[in-house]
Structure 1
């Protein structure tokens, strides 16, 4: 019985060491990263894929090793546009902030991902921040989505448009 307990203890220790080593190896391989994801399309499947890419990115690098910003402008704002808002903002063809999408967004936010909203789109399409958008606040607003993309790249952020 003592031998069996020792075998189990050894196996558990080896498993823990292996998991720790593989996560250290991933962070060693990729180091610290700053990444901006660009969303300016309203296709729900592409948007869901973008969120999946972001989660995979975090899984590979570790949330503590990556600063991720999602910049949405134009039709990309449909990612967080509530479905019942669509009738009030006719300049959008899609409102993709359904329960599945918002759960993914919440999970990413809990891991430190920021979602930035273009002020030009909000103004130009008459979007009410509190009424029409999911979990958006004035601190999420950037003056211009395109200018924010350029600004972040100038600050060393890598650009990804999934």
Structure 2
């Protein structure tokens, strides 16, 4: 009987070792930064798909997604050139309010304005950050996961 109890105790310890990480991961808040640095509608849509999949998977949990655009990727959030503006609005307002943010690099915006000779506006659902790269770095320093489609 003593050997049986020892084997049962060992099985319980092993089961707890395998179960604990999964349980801890489910209760952990998730923060994901997705970088878009290409003026490519396929990359933009892939980033939106990634964000959608993350939010759907962790629905009801404490997750945040920030899609950060810089360089040519700023076109994703430009009011005059975004090929995905309608999809951004749907994700932000109707499907996942408060779960997703869109950050536009001000350095890239200013560079485009200088090159094009006129002011550029971003979509209403975007926030302008001083530097997209610095924003990504600071998010990672705060424990955010980084994804680049």
- TM-score normalized by structure 2? 0.70
* CA 27–45 in structure 1, closer or farther in 2 if over 3 Å, else same: farther
**Equivalent residue for 1:7?**
none
For 1:34-71, what per-residue CA distance to the aligned partner results, in whole angstroms no more than 9, with x for missing partners? 11111101110111111011101100011642111111
Tell me which stretches of 4 or more aligned residues in structure 1 moved more than 6 Å. 25-28
Query: How many angstroms does 1:27 deviate by?
Result: 10
Q: Distance in 2 between matches of 1:45 and 1:39?
A: 11
Unaligned runs of 5+ in 2: 1-21
Q: Distance in 1 between matches of 2:23 and 2:77?
A: 31
**Equivalent residue for 1:67?**
64
2:77–2:104 contact (8 Å) kept in structure 1? no
1:46 aligns with 2:37: no
1:47–1:79 contact (8 Å) kept in structure 2? yes
**Equivalent residue for 1:32?**
29
Corresponding residue to 1:142 among 126, 129, 132: 129
1:27–1:62 contact (8 Å) kept in structure 2? no
Let me know the Cα RMSD of the aligned residues: 2.5
1:120–1:143 contact (8 Å) kept in structure 2? yes
Structure with larger Rg: 2
**Equivalent residue for 1:156?**
143
Unaligned runs of 5+ in 1: 1-24, 86-94
1:105 aligns with 2:88: yes
- TM-score normalized by structure 1? 0.65
1:57 aligns with 2:54: yes
What secondary structure sits across from 2:66 in the alignment? strand
**Equivalent residue for 2:12?**
none
For 1:2-48, what per-residue CA distance to the aligned partner results, in whole angstroms no more than 9, with x for missing partners? xxxxxxxxxxxxxxxxxxxxxxx999636310111111011101111
* CA 108–115 in structure 1, closer or farther in 2 if over 3 Å, else same: same
